[in-house]
């Protein structure tokens, strides 16, 4: 006998204070995304047997080589979003411009932004990868969305989540009412080819991030490019018991943001892909709309904090769909400390200003 609520049951309970029609539309939309991710999980789980390893002979929106699994995951998300009657359009890491739903562009009340396959450098090494998604309101429902319809700050997200394809497939989700964790029950469903999807079961409610930690994650090979506040924070962690922090820290780096954030959800920690001086035109590595903003919402909803160094990431209004930002997130006390280092006048941080007021312009239908 099943004693754990399904995704739909848990969401109905989580959204019990919402207007019933709106709650149902959101449950339907998240169910479509969850179905797509269950299919991605099947393909990823077959490894080389699915024929989806290796390069796809194409490039994504930012000129990066696409893997076959990037392309496949993107197609699965697109297919399932098309089947959902509430999504007017979507934008993905894999396409320069947003895509319109063929049937629901003038009807849907939501826009979805996603990274179909995060951490794709890890595919062939059989290390955890993931999908990240964000559900935004289509403010001018009834009109055709344009790229600028998506340029809303993370605080406007209606829901955000990620799916981790690890030893277990896990979805972590927030509809701004705390954070829920689901596990894909791979014993259910008929698998692939449009059969009955496997069932997602609620395995943790009210996920909380521990405020203190002794663990940090950063790509240390970039150290020479970091700015002073990050140099100081990491140097103090590395100094351990004999330094100003008077405790030893441990370091982790998976190179899959989803796996990194999931570790923080389960036992606290700090994840940083900070601003660096490698390429002055790129203020960070990670993308605001489909990496930083959804993760920031999940982390904040779990009691943690997510910033770009000086400001909360959820306040940042995107200039473009694929904008990159610095990301520092995790256990609240540590992030407060890192923000205070950035605010310290001796650290010479000259880039505090960024756009927080929406310049959201809705073009003609
Ligand atoms: O999508 C970007 C990403 O793959 C993240 O998942 C990960 O945190 C980061 O890039 C890894 O970067 P690097 O290759 O510098 O370790
Ligand atoms: Mn990614």
| CATH value at residue 129 | 3.30.540.10
Asked whether residue 356 is domain-assigned, the answer is no
Identify whether 197 is part of a domain.
Answer: yes
| 87 and 200 part of one domain | yes
Pair (198, 256) in one structural domain: no
Cβ atoms of 173 and 27 within 8 Å: the answer is no
144 in ligand 1 pocket by Cβ < 6 Å?
no
- Residue among 259, 258, 197, 205 nearest 30 (CA): 197
Residues 125 and 239 in one domain: no
Residue of higher predicted confidence among 291 and 197: 291
Please tell me if the CB atom of residue 146 comes closer than 6 angstroms to any atom of ligand 1.
no
The whole-number pLDDT of residue 95 equals 95
Residue 185 and residue 289 in one domain? no
Residues 114 and 77 sit within 8 Å (Cβ to Cβ): yes
pLDDT at position 189 is 87
Query: pLDDT tens-digit profile of 2-42?
Result: 799 999 999 999 999 999 999 999 999 999 999 999 999 99
CA dist list (Å): 291 to 22, 188, 198: 25, 30, 26
pLDDT surpassing 90 at residue 280: no
Domain span at 263: 215-342
Angle at 290 between CA 163 and CA 216, to 5 degrees: 70
The answer on 320 and 220 residing in a single domain is yes
In a domain, 351, yes or no: no
Tell me how far apart the alpha carbons of residues 76 and 84 are, in angstroms, rounded to a whole number: 13
Q: Do 295 and 323 lie in a common domain?
A: yes
Check pLDDT > 70 for residue 240: yes
Residue 236 domain flag: yes
Q: What is the pLDDT of residue 64?
A: 82
Residues 191 and 275 in one domain: no
- Parallel, antiparallel or unpaired: strands 199-204 and 87-92: unpaired
Whether ligand 1 lies within 6 angstroms of the CB of 255 is answered as: yes
Note whether residue 349 is domain-resident: no
Best of 61, 123, 217, 286 for a ligand 1 pocket test (most atoms within 8 Å of beta carbon): 286
Q: pLDDT tens across 290-303, in order?
A: 999 999 999 999 99
Rounded to whole angstroms, the Cα distance separating 309 from 349 reads 10
Of 256, 258, 323, best ligand 1 pocket probe by most atoms within 8 Å of the beta carbon? 256
pLDDT (tens digit per residue) in 42-86: 999 999 999 889 888 888 877 888 889 999 999 999 999 999 999
């Amino acid at each position: 006998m099943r004693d754990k609520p399904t995704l739909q049951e848990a969401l109905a309970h989580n959204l019990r204070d919402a207007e019933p029609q709106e709650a149902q539309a959101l449950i339907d939309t998240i169910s479509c995304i969850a179905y797509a991710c269950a299919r991605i999980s099947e393909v990823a789980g077959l490894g080389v047997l699915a024929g989806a390893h290796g390069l796809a002979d194409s490039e994504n929106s930012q000129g990066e080589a696409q893997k076959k699994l990037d392309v496949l995951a993107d197609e699965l998300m697109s297919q399932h979003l098309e089947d959902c009657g509430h999504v007017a359009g979507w934008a993905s890491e894999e396409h320069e411009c947003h895509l319109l739903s063929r049937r629901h562009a003038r009807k849907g009340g939501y826009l979805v932004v996603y990274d179909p396959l995060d951490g794709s450098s890890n595919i062939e090494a059989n290390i955890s990868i993931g999908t990240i998604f964000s559900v935004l309101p289509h403010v001018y429902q009834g009109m055709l969305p344009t790229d600028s319809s998506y340029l809303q700050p993370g605080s406007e997200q209606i829901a955000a989540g990620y799916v981790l394809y690890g030893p277990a497939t896990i979805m972590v989700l927030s509809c701004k009412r705390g954070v829920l964790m689901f596990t894909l029950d791979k014993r259910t469903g008929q698998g692939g080819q449009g059969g009955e999807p496997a069932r997602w079961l609620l395995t943790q409610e009210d996920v909380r991030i521990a405020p203190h930690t002794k663990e940090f994650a950063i790509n240390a090979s970039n150290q020479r490019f970091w700015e002073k506040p990050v140099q100081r924070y990491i140097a103090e962690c590395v100094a351990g018991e004999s330094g100003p922090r008077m405790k030893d820290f441990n370091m982790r780096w998976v190179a899959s943001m989803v796996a990194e954030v999931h570790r923080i959800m389960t036992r606290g920690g700090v994840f940083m892909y900070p601003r660096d001086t490698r390429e002055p035109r790129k203020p960070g590595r990670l993308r605001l709309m489909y990496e930083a903003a959804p993760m920031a919402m999940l982390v904040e909803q779990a009691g943690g904090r997510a910033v770009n160094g000086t400001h909360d990431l959820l306040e940042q209004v995107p200039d473009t769909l694929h904008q990159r930002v610095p990301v520092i997130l995790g256990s609240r006390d540590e992030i407060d400390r890192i923000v205070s280092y950035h605010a310290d006048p001796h650290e010479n941080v000259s880039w505090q200003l960024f756009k927080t007021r929406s310049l959201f312009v809705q073009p003609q239908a």
